[in-house]
Amino acid sequence: MIREPQSMGELVYFTQRAVGKGNVKAWVYRGDCPKCGKAKMGKPVGDKGKVKIRAKEYVCPACGYTVEKKEHEETLTCDVKYTCPECGNTSETSVPYKRKKFQGMDAVVFQCGKCNAKIPITKKMKEKGAADEGAEDV
């Protein structure tokens, strides 16, 4: 049984969306510092006390250890509660938080525990075939 988050402050990523006839709720908890282990890694904080949203690294607030964003995110785990769009099965799973190409889009992909259908969690606003809509032959 996976634990649902209590606040967004303990997360790196959260999404809740419809996928076909099913739905997905996914989140990724912040990871511990690999150097000191005392604090959770987070994005750096600027001079005015605000978190740098588009930062390319994660920093430990306790010891100041810095690690690249991509390298750190690949060590994290994505917890998912879902209803399969193929068979309607409701379940939960944990997968590595690593985006892969799925039908031409970057997505965290996991399989239904019952029917083994591949279910993608794409970035926000990315829909399969969305690039083709609105284009018409002249």
How big is the chain, counted in residues?
138
Per-residue pLDDT of the chain (138 residues; tens, 9 = 90+): 788 888 888 888 898 988 888 889 999 999 888 888 888 898 888 778 788 888 899 998 888 889 998 888 889 999 999 998 888 889 999 999 988 888 888 888 999 888 888 988 887 655 555 444 444 443
The C-alpha angle with vertex 105 and arms to 102 and 109, in degrees rounded to 5, equals: 40
**What pLDDT, on the 0 to 100 scale, is given for residue 137?**
41
**What pLDDT, on the 0 to 100 scale, is given for residue 37?**
82
d(CA 112, CA 90): 9
Q: How far is CA 42 from the centre of its chain?
A: 15
Which residue, 54, 70, 60, is CA-closest to 106?
Answer: 70
**What pLDDT, on the 0 to 100 scale, is given for residue 78?**
92
**What pLDDT, on the 0 to 100 scale, is given for residue 34?**
86
